[in-house]
């Protein structure tokens, strides 16, 4: 079983939002719903300001609260190690949406739960997820952490990698690398 | 100043969660009510020691009403499901870590036990109302087993009353719910509402009086547990402190939760006061029948308890979804 | 009845067995009746969601475009697409698209459209055109155009006998910077700009908000520079995304950028931080520049710009230390004030002083490849009797024409009346400032024709609307891409045109037929022309159609080397720091600083810019992009907002110095902008009811740009000279 992770180099994200829409087109996501997003956080007081552009998506946690919460095994861990939803088993109880601390999930117009799949249909063909493929800043990097030569392994080795809400104990597989700048006079 | 601008949010999770609504609130109320009723009427039926002669159950209509209440409540869950036709998948597996799975199996199990209970306590004279001969036959077979069936339903009631609390507390993402006090709170309030309902429907005066007394203890317990619930969150970490803010806010947006909290702490003690008043009248023992006004006061107090339980569940379900574990 | 243990076990076993067997059975039952999935087709083409024109590969299943991806071969996309590129699907399937030709049955600009056949519509247009030609002359019909449709309609109009056309991109956008670079280096900066960002050690952005301005490969290179630790210096009154990456954000007082540039030149010359060898070898006029900037000290500049002198000196030293790998971005939309050319001249001079022109990390040289031009037809255009009016009287006006010269000529009827306007691929209401002038001008016309894909604000004012199909449904001329290497990109239909829409070439050809101009369109379909063009150029058309892009890597010679000496097409043959050309025409040969008007107390300067998910008014109705950004917001400084008692997100109305009121717009209270400015993303608040998503959403900055400066050198406009104040929503 590979250990697919995504490493996000926050410094390189330029907020083009291509990932947000590429994902939707690749996965036929319904109008008004999103599987990934970009958060623009600006802190400080004029003219001493700092900006972070951070993309967020399902973390495919190693201890996934959504899998625990699902009564029908619609939410499950697939053979490639990613967390997936088998739509035909989903009863739309929305327990998984409440269980996820990362706002990764939503309820489709058809009444079932949905979320980022790491584009598993592309992984099978040896391609990267759509968001990674189109990322203009080369900010989203994807690969197998169990492969010591992969770009993700190199990045996590060299740099401080943090995860969202580490204290929630979910052991996410999306890592953030951050080398901050400070602006201003 | 922190400026947040997010592209790609879903309305269901941002700016706050809007996942469960009045449908779940009504189920939680009806489910708790049914649970409490099952526990309470089992207490009523079991407190008299076993008789050599065929015993007459003390509480006969309660199991029937509990069954209706739970069945109606379950409709509200089904109404909330986005894809109810897939529900059979829930019966092709059991997920011990998922309280939803416990509920999927458990609620029908409670209904089954409840059904047996109805058949077991129905008095001989009423049996013909069952219509179907096989039902009458089962009823005849079950009547002598009334006590073990009552014990079973007692356990089922406890399960039904507590499992929804455990379900809500299992979501680490919802700070208001994610604590060990919530299941206890839900159980106590379920039992209290059950006792109140028994007071209202009971025909026998002594049953009415018995459960008025029991409810007094349960109301006191409920008030204590609510206070501990808020204290526990207040003394916990940042997301948990934030989670109780709506209940103490004076701004437009969340004032309704402050009102809810005030209501709970008015209605329940008021009910308590009325009940204590009733008790005082009978300090020197209970004689026979109640007057009309006494019955009115008992029913009124019971209604206050039911209202308080409903408000409590609604407030917790809605307020819980206002505060997430994450920063925004 | 009692249940024995055996019975219980039996029941449990059966239940378990059913569950175990049931699942796969249920699975296979559910699988019945599922259709087999068709195989996807991949068709390469060229995007036109903006004017970067990236290579796109469209994924088509059963005749439906399901995904667009960047063509890895194309240097503008490099395998990636920006948000707009992905949103092409939204354009293709937008229910509000123009579907048939429309003829207005009401008065001018009333938009009382009836559906018409192509025959009817084209006949109407041809008849009107002939009438105007009879009464006023062919020159009386002008063309305002943008995008690839320009190729056909410029050709058609010139064949008809009119020389008058204008692209908005010159006077309203990048004309000044191309003029300034032509004067200094002898050639324009190019599209894509020849900026070697990925190798820059220092990137200086003057007003450029790269990142929000989502030019694909340029953003990729910018992120690369940031990732490699380049020092970013951003000069912008607003804390843009680029400023968020910057080591130095200089929140400059608007309209004082030239002061900063001159002060930088002052420091760099005084401290000897310029590339002495390069300056000696390749430039003329250094001494004149050195003496001209003597008065522009950092201390002086601090008073003008609100930027501390120490910071001006520090940033100049950073540039000097890292020369020649310094990129001072020439900008793109440079139509700010009345001294645009001089301001970009200062950028060009600074670039030359740092030796960055033709060096890694600076401005790379054009690829070395020339292909003989292939025209749409070999036939000569008729001579025009009347003088051309489309360049105004601006000595350095570009060949692309000056839009406001055409508007002025139409309004004043000087030197002769203009009676017909063709607007193709341009939204005249959103593109051109002083909308009142535009609306008055069109009342003078006998004919107003719009050719476009969507019913934009300007389109619905026309007498006749001709629906062009989208870029995904048509052929267009081959794109010669002059990035580091030279390349050719194809645009070909990915799906057949939807509804009754037609490609631009067909519309022009059919109209031409009805005007007796068939000889100017000698090819049958445009693909025939493309095949002929490829043959002339020695390119395999089928290979181009299959790959989408053909590159000529041997043409890549980006830097000055011993065997790649630059040739500057200036009068002196060198880089003209001091421009005799300008002097001869009566302008300052070295930029001189002029003060511009600042907003009075209680007013804000209206500044505008781009959003990464939109291409101004072109995409505000696109369903895929609209859901990412439905409306723009008015950025107001937090302290100012607090003083005015405004709440974040509430609706306000903007009123400009001429009393023009904007549509209601949400306020964005932010620390990210100077207190004397107010910022809007350009292109919102469509006035066309037919754009159901975009209609009256947000505020239209162009509506508030009622006055504009004109730079006399090339005729480019200055649109940042309007002041607004805030009113709570009426």
| pLDDT of A184 strictly over 80 | no
Strand, coil or helix: C165: strand
3 state SS for A79-94: CCCCEEECHHHCCCCC
CA distances for A5 relative to A153, B79, C365, angstroms: 9, 38, 41
Strand, coil or helix: C5: helix
Q: Tell which phi-psi region holds residue C483, choosing left (phi > 0), alpha (psi between -120 and 50) or beta.
A: beta
Contact at CB, C83 and A185, closer than 8 angstroms: no
| pLDDT of B266 strictly over 70 | yes
Residue C411 in contact with partner chain A when CB distance is under 8 A: no
CB contacts under 8 A, A 117-176 vs B, are 164-165, 168-169
| pLDDT of A183 strictly over 80 | no
Q: The complex's ipTM? A: 0.95
Residue B251 in contact with partner chain C when CB distance is under 8 A: no
Pick the range with the lowest mean pLDDT from B297-311, C309-323, C425-439: B297-311
CA C371 to chain centre: 26
Residues B45-74 have a mean pLDDT of 82
Q: Which residues contact C188 (CB under 8 A, 6 or more apart)?
A: C178, C181, C182
Residue C672 in contact with partner chain A when CB distance is under 8 A: yes
Task: Assess contact for C220 and C78: CB atoms under 8 A.
Answer: yes
Tell me what pLDDT residue A132 has. 98
Q: Is residue A30 part of a domain?
A: yes
Percent of chain C with pLDDT over 90: 93
Pick the range with the lowest mean pLDDT from B105-119, B281-295, C261-275, C541-555: B281-295
Neighbour subunits, A (≥3 Cβ pairs < 8 A): B, C
Tell me what pLDDT residue B290 has. 75
DSSP letter for C109, please.
T
Phi, psi of A61 (to 5 degrees): -55, 150
Instruction: Give residue-wise pLDDT tens across range C212-225.
Output: 999 999 999 999 99
Given pLDDT bands bounded at 50, 70 and 90, which one contains residue B49? confident
Given pLDDT bands bounded at 50, 70 and 90, which one contains residue C32? low
Find chain B residues with C-beta within 8 A of A65's C-beta: 171-173
Instruction: Give residue-wise pLDDT tens across range C651-709.
Output: 999 999 999 999 999 999 999 999 999 999 999 999 999 999 999 999 999 999 999 99
Mean pLDDT in chain C? 95
Q: Is residue A149 part of a domain?
A: yes
Correct CATH for C604-728 of 3.40.50.300, 2.40.40.20, 2.40.10.120, 1.10.3720.10: 2.40.40.20
Residues C15-21 have a mean pLDDT of 63
Percent of chain C with pLDDT over 70: 95
Contact at CB, A138 and C223, closer than 8 angstroms: yes
| pLDDT of C639 strictly over 50 | yes
Domain membership of residue A122 as a residue range: 4-62+116-177
* Buried residues in C615-642 as b, exposed as e (16+ CB within 10 A): bbbbbbbbbbbbbbbebbbbbbbbebbe
CATH number of A122's domain: 3.30.70.20
Phi, psi of C34 (to 5 degrees): -85, 135
Strands C651-656 and C665-670: antiparallel
Tell me what pLDDT residue C332 has. 96
Tell me what pLDDT residue B205 has. 81
**Tokens (6 digits) for B110:** 């409670």
Tell me what pLDDT residue C15 has. 66
Given pLDDT bands bounded at 50, 70 and 90, which one contains residue B296? confident
| pLDDT of C538 strictly over 60 | yes
Report the DSSP beta bridge partners of residue C609: C681
Tell me what pLDDT residue C21 has. 61
CA distance C351 to C355: 6
End-to-end Cα spacing for chain C: 79
Tell me what pLDDT residue C641 has. 96
The edge-to-edge listing of strands for the beta sheet with C41-46 is: C41-46, C55-61, C64-70
Task: Assess contact for B164 and B20: CB atoms under 8 A.
Answer: no
Task: Assess contact for C363 and C190: CB atoms under 8 A.
Answer: no
Among residues C254, C271, C261, C348, which one has the least CA distance to residue C296?
C261
Q: State which residue of chain B sits closest to A41, comparing Cα positions.
A: B4
Contact at CB, B3 and C671, closer than 8 angstroms: yes
Strands A37-45 and A4-9: unpaired
Whose tokens are 């469209």? That residue is C58
Task: Assess contact for C473 and C492: CB atoms under 8 A.
Answer: no
Please spell the DSSP secondary structure of A106-143, one letter per residue. Answer: EE-TTS-EE---TTHHHHTTTPPPHHHHH-TTS-EEEE
| pLDDT of B14 strictly over 50 | yes
Residues C226-243 have a mean pLDDT of 97
CA A136 to chain centre: 17
**Nearest CA distance, C63 vs chain A (angstrom):** 16
Please spell the DSSP secondary structure of C287-309, one letter per residue. Answer: HHHHHHTTT--HHHHHHHHS--H
- Could you state, in order of their start, the residue ranges of all structural domains in chain C? 1-34, 195-363, 604-728
Task: Assess contact for C401 and C170: CB atoms under 8 A.
Answer: yes
Task: Assess contact for C336 and C174: CB atoms under 8 A.
Answer: no
Pick the range with the lowest mean pLDDT from A22-31, B2-11, B278-287, C485-494: B278-287
Given pLDDT bands bounded at 50, 70 and 90, which one contains residue B295? confident
DSSP letter for C397, please.
-
Contact at CB, A14 and C241, closer than 8 angstroms: yes
Q: State which residue of chain B sits closest to C16, comparing Cα positions.
A: B92
Q: How many domains does chain A have?
A: 1
What's the fold here for domain C195-363? Dimethylsulfoxide Reductase; domain 2 (3.40.228)
Q: Is the dihedral of CA C75, C78, C83, C87 positive or negative?
A: positive
Strand, coil or helix: C43: strand
Disruptive mutation site among B92, B105, B148 for chain C (greatest number of C CBs within 10 Å): B92
Given pLDDT bands bounded at 50, 70 and 90, which one contains residue B113? very high
**Tokens (6 digits) for C377:** 């037809």
**Tokens (6 digits) for B255:** 């004032």
**Nearest CA distance, B323 vs chain C (angstrom):** 21
Whose tokens are 């630059």? That residue is C566
Please spell the DSSP secondary structure of A33-92, one letter per residue. Answer: --S-EEEEEEEEETTEEEEEEEEE-----SS-HHHHH-SSS-EEE-TTS-EEE-GGG---
Tell me what pLDDT residue B127 has. 83
Find chain B residues with C-beta within 8 A of C628's C-beta: 7-8
Find chain C residues with C-beta within 8 A of A138's C-beta: 220, 223-224, 227
Tell me what pLDDT residue C3 has. 58
Candidates A89, A106, A169; nearest CB to B10: A106
| pLDDT of A185 strictly over 80 | no
CB contacts under 8 A, C 178-217 vs A, are 210-212, 214, 216
Angle at B106 between CA B104 and CA B107, to 5 degrees: 80
Tell me what pLDDT residue C38 has. 87
Question: pTM for the complete prediction?
Answer: 0.94
Residues in chain A: 185
In this structure, CATH architecture of domain B17-170 = Up-down Bundle (1.20)
Residues C106-123 have a mean pLDDT of 96
Candidates B3, B8, B92; nearest CB to C22: B92
Instruction: Give residue-wise pLDDT tens across range C117-155.
Output: 999 999 999 999 999 999 999 999 999 999 999 999 999
Disruptive mutation site among A71, A116, A163, A166 for chain B (greatest number of B CBs within 10 Å): A71
Q: State which residue of chain A sits closest to B169, comparing Cα positions.
A: A99
Q: State which residue of chain A sits closest to B13, comparing Cα positions.
A: A103
Angle in degrees, 0-180, between the axes of helices C435-443 and C403-412, rounded to the nearest 10: 50
Instruction: Give residue-wise pLDDT tens across range C337-347.
Output: 999 999 999 99
């Amino acid at each position: 079983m590979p250990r697919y992770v995504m490493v996000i180099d926050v410094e390189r994200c330029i907020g083009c939002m291509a990932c947000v829409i590429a994902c939707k087109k690749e996965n036929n996501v319904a109008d008004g719903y999103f599987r990934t997003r970009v958060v623009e956080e600006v802190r400080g007081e004029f003219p001493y300001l700092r900006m972070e552009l951070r993309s967020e998506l399902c973390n495919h946690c190693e201890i996934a609260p959504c899998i625990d919460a699902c009564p029908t095994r619609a939410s499950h861990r697939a053979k490639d190690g990613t967390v997936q939803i088998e739509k035909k088993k989903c009863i739309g109880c929305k327990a998984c949406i409440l269980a996820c601390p990362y706002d990764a999930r939503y309820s489709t117009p058809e009444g079932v739960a949905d979320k980022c799949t790491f584009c598993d249909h592309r992984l099978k063909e040896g391609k990267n997820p759509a968001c990674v493929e189109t990322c203009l800043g080369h900010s989203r990097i994807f690969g197998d952490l169990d492969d010591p030569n992969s770009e993700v392994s190199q990045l996590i080795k060299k740099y401080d990698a943090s995860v969202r809400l580490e204290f929630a104990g979910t052991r996410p597989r999306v890592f953030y690398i951050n080398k901050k700048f400070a602006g201003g006079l | 100043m922190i400026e947040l601008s997010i592209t790609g949010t879903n309305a269901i999770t941002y700016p706050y969660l809007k996942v469960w609504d009045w449908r779940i609130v009504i189920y939680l109320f009806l489910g708790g009510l049914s649970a409490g009723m099952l526990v309470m009427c089992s207490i009523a039926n079991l407190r008299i020691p076993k008789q050599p002669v065929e015993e007459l159950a003390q509480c006969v209509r309660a199991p029937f009403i509990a069954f209706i209440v739970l069945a109606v409540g379950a409709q509200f869950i089904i109404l909330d499901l986005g894809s109810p036709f897939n529900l059979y998948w829930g019966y092709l597996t059991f997920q011990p870590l998922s309280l939803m799975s416990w509920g999927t199996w458990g609620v029908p199990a409670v209904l089954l036990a409840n059904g047996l209970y109805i058949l077991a306590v129905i008095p001989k004279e009423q049996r013909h109302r069952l219509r179907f001969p096989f039902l009458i036959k089962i009823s005849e077979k079950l009547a002598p087993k009334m006590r073990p069936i009552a014990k079973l339903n007692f356990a089922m009631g406890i399960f039904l009353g507590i499992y929804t609390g455990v379900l809500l507390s299992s979501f680490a993402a919802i700070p208001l719910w994610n604590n060990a006090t919530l299941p206890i709170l839900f159980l106590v309030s379920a039992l209290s509402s059950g006792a109140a309902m028994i007071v209202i429907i009971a025909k026998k005066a002594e049953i009415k009086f018995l459960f008025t007394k029991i409810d007094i203890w349960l109301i006191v317990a409920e008030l204590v547990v609510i206070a501990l619930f808020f204290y526990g969150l207040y003394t916990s970490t940042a997301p948990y402190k934030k989670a109780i803010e709506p209940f103490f806010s004076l701004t437009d947006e969340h004032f309704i939760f402050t009102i809810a909290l005030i209501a709970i702490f008015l209605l329940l003690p008021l009910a308590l006061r009325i009940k204590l008043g009733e008790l005082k009248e009978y300090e020197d023992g209970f004689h026979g029948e109640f007057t009309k006004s006494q019955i009115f006061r008992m029913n009124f107090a019971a209604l206050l308890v039911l209202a308080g339980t409903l408000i409590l569940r609604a407030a917790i379900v809605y307020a819980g979804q206002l505060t997430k574990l994450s920063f925004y | 009845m009692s249940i024995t243990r055996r019975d219980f076990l039996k029941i449990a076993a059966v239940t378990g067995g059913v569950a175990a067997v049931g699942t796969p059975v249920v699975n296979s039952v559910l699988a019945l009746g599922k259709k087999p999935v068709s195989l996807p087709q991949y068709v390469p083409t060229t995007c036109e969601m903006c004017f970067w024109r990236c290579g796109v590969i469209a994924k088509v299943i059963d005749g439906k475009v399901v995904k667009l991806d960047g063509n890895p071969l194309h240097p503008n996309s490099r395998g990636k697409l920006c948000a707009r590129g992905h949103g092409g699907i939204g354009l293709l399937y937008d229910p509000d698209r123009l579907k048939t030709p429309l003829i207005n049955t009401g008065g001018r600009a009333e938009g009382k459209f009836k559906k018409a056949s192509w025959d009817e519509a084209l006949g109407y247009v041809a008849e009107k055109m002939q009438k105007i030609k009879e009464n006023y002359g062919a020159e009386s019909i002008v063309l305002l155009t943008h995008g690839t449709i320009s190729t056909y309609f410029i050709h058609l109009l010139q064949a008809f006998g009119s020389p008058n056309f204008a692209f908005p991109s010159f006077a309203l956008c990048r004309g000044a910077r191309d003029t300034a670079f032509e004067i200094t280096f002898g050639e324009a900066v190019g599209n894509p700009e020849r900026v070697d960002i990925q190798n820059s050690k220092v990137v200086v952005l003057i007003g450029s908000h790269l990142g929000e301005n989502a030019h694909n490969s340029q953003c990729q290179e910018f992120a690369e520079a940031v990732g490699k630790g380049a020092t970013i210096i951003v000069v912008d009154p607003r804390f843009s995304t680029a400023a968020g990456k910057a080591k130095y954000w200089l929140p400059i007082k608007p309209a004082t950028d030239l002061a900063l540039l001159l002060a930088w030149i002052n420091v760099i010359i005084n401290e000897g931080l310029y590339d002495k060898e390069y300056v000696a070898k390749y430039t003329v006029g250094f001494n004149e520049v050195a003496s001209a900037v003597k008065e522009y000290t950092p201390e002086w500049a601090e008073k003008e710009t609100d930027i501390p002198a120490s910071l001006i000196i520090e940033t100049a030293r950073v540039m000097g230390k890292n020369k020649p790998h310094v990129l001072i971005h020439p900008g793109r939309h440079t139509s700010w004030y009345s001294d645009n050319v001089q301001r970009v001249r200062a950028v060009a001079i600074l670039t030359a002083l740092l030796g960055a022109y033709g060096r890694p990390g600076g401005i790379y040289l054009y690829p070395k490849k020339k292909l003989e031009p292939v025209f749409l037809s070999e036939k000569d255009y008729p001579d025009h009797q009347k003088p051309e009016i489309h360049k105004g009287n601006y000595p350095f006006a570009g060949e692309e024409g000056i839009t406001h010269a055409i508007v002025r000529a139409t309004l004043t009827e000087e030197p002769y009346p203009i009676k017909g306007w063709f607007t193709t691929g341009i939204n005249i209401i959103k593109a051109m400032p002083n909308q009142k002038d535009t609306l008055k001008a069109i009342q003078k016309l006998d004919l107003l024709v719009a050719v476009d894909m969507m019913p934009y604000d300007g389109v619905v004012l026309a007498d006749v609307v001709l629906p062009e199909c989208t870029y995904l449904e048509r052929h267009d001329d081959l794109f010669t891409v002059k990035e580091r290497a030279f390349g050719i990109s194809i645009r070909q239909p990915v799906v057949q045109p939807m509804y009754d829409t037609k490609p631009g070439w067909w519309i022009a050809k059919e109209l031409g037929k009805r005007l007796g101009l068939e000889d100017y369109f000698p090819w049958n379909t445009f693909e025939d022309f493309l095949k002929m063009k490829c043959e002339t150029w020695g390119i395999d058309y089928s290979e181009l159609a299959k790959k989408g892009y053909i590159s000529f890597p041997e043409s890549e010679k980006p830097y000055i080397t011993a065997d790649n000496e630059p040739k500057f097409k200036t009068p002196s043959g060198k880089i003209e720091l001091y421009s005799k050309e300008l002097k001869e025409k009566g302008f300052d040969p070295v930029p001189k600083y002029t003060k511009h008007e600042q907003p009075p107390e209680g007013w804000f300067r209206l500044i505008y810019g781009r959003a990464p998910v939109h291409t101004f008014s072109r995409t505000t109705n696109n369903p895929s992009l609209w859901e990412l950004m439905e409306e723009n917001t008015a950025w107001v400084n937090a302290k100012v907002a607090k003083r005015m008692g405004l709440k974040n997100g509430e609706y306000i109305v903007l009123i400009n110095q001429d009393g023009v009121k904007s549509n209601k717009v949400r306020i964005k209270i932010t620390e990210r902008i100077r207190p004397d400015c107010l910022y809007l993303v350009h292109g919102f608040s469509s006035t066309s009811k037919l754009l159901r998503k975009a209609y009256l959403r947000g505020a239209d900055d162009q509506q508030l740009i009622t006055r504009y400066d004109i730079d006399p050198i090339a005729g480019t406009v200055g649109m940042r000279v309007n002041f607004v104040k805030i009113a709570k929503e009426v």
